[in-house]
Amino acid sequence: MQKEDAALGEDNVFNDDVIIELAKSKPNGISNIDIKNEIPDVLPEIWTKSINKLLKSGTLELFKDKGTLLYKYKDPSTKTEVKGSDNEEKVVYKIIEEAGNKGIWIRDIRFKSNLNMTQLNKVLKSLETKKYIKAVKSVAASKKKVYMLYNLEPDSSVTGGAWYQDQDFESEFVDVLNQQCYRFLEGKRDAAIKLGGGPLMCRNRSYVTATDVHKFISELGISKVQLSVDDIESILYTVVLDNKAERTVNPNGEYLYRAINPFLKSPGIVRTTCGICPIVERCGDAGLINPKSCKYLTEWLND
């Protein structure tokens, strides 16, 4: 993965400039289609990355015009200019700007600006109506808002990334991916066993990297959003936490995953109703809940 990263890095540098030049040449903004036409030989994954980076740094601004997204070049010298604002607004704007696309919450703005709450609220309102800044709900804590510059795309730590849709965590999506990732690991292991050879070969053949799994998941087409290799890495870790896989590091510092079996079949105690009974604390000899008439036990006995 390191090698790949390095390759991506080079492309990034190259592309950033290309895109800045493109944007400069069209003061009214460039669309995705424009970019594709101008640099057809560069993969979209690569140039969207640098677009995102430029948006984050404020070099590009995002606009919507008749339903198409346009990127506009923003001269760095005018970047921090807040027209028609008083000093307080400038200070607050600066603070918010520094926070980048991770945003900053109101308490911290207050600390840094030394304004009192009423003042600060007024300033924020004003900046918001002028569309210099916006408030974004953070997934980290419900009801907590963070402020950032109006044209920024919030960081995935704020939106939650691929796993969130409007602040709601998509559990089912994660579950499906968890299952599919395990299925892939399992398939790898079974194939390795079938191929035979010594146990060492068998074990080594059943290792996969997140990139392998990423490819498999992308080809499955079950995800409506674009998942990154890191996203898959996160999912794979949940498979590890489910004790269905193990994770090791190869000499390149890359994580390797492999399906594993448990030591034990389910322990005897959980094969009874009492071992998993939710009301076991209230179950006794006297009283309504007791083993003699317990209907969980009756059902289990008649199974």
Partner 1 sequence: MSLQHRNVINLILLERFGKVIADVGDIIFQNPSSLYNIVKSADIRISKVKEALSVLIKYNLVTFKLNVDSSAAIYMLNLKNVLLMLRFPKFINLIKTKFDETYEVLVEEILLKGCVTASELIIKVAKRLQEQKTVNILLQELKDNFNSLVTAKYVTRLSTQVTKAEELYLLPNLDLKQILTVLNGENETLSDAGIYWTINSDRFHQDLRDQLIVNSVSNKFDDNMGELIRLLLQQMYVRTDPWVSSSNPIPILEVKDIVKKRNTHPQLATFFEQYVNILEQDATGIIRKVGEASGGSFQVEIKHIFTQLTWEAVEEIVNEKFDSKASRIFRLVKLRHYIEPEQIQNLVMIPAKEVKRILYMLLEENFLVVNELKRSATSLGPSKSFTLFHIRLSQVVRTMLELCYKTLYNIMTRRCHEKYLNKRLIDKKHRVDTITHGMRVQGISGDSVLDIEEMITPPENEILERIGKMMKKLSLTELEIDETLFLLEMYLKYE
Closest Cα to residue 184, out of 246, 257, 261?
257
Closest Cα to residue 227, out of 136, 182, 219, 57?
219
76 binds ligand SF4 (CB under 6 A): no
Q: Which of residues 139-168 bind ligand SF4 (CB under 6 A)?
A: none
Q: Which of residues 254-283 bind ligand SF4 (CB under 6 A)?
A: 273-274, 277, 279-280, 283
286 binds partner 1 (CB under 8 A): no
297 binds partner 1 (CB under 8 A): yes
Partner from ligand SF4, partner 1, none contacting 237, C-beta within 5 to 8 A by type: partner 1
Among 153, 155, 186, 246, binds partner 1 (CB under 8 A): 246
Q: Side chain identity at 204, as an amino acid letter?
A: N
177 binds ligand SF4 (CB under 6 A): no
Query: Rg of the chain's alpha carbons, rounded to an integer?
Result: 27
Binding region for ligand SF4 (CB under 6 A) out of 173-181, 183-191, 202-210, 287-295: 287-295
238 binds partner 1 (CB under 8 A): yes
**How is residue 280 annotated by DSSP?**
G
Q: What's phi and psi for 24, nearest 5 deg?
A: -65, -35
Q: Which of residues 14-33 bind partner 1 (CB under 8 A)?
A: none
Please list the alpha-helical segments (H only) found in 99-243.
Answer: 106-113, 117-129, 156-159, 171-195, 199-205, 210-220, 229-241
Give the containing element (helix H, strand E) for 247: strand 245-249
Residue 113 three-state SS: helix
# binding residues, partner 1 (CB under 8 A): 49
Among 107, 122, 125, 131, binds partner 1 (CB under 8 A): 107
Q: Which of residues 180-199 bind partner 1 (CB under 8 A)?
A: 198-199
Nearest distance, CB of residue 149 and partner 1, angstroms: 24
Instruction: Give the β-pairing of 168-169 and 164-165.
Output: antiparallel
Give CA–CA dist 290/62, Å, rounded. 67
Instruction: For residue 147, list its beta bridge partners.
Output: 104, 135
The angle subtended at Cα 157 by Cα 114 and Cα 89, nearest 5°, is 25
Residue 16 or 233 having the CB closest to partner 1: 233
Q: What's phi and psi for 208, nearest 5 deg?
A: -135, 160
Among 264, 279, 286, 288, binds partner 1 (CB under 8 A): 264
Among 219, 265, 279, 288, binds partner 1 (CB under 8 A): 265
Binding site for ligand SF4 (CB under 6 A): 273-274, 277, 279-280, 283, 289, 291, 294, 296-297
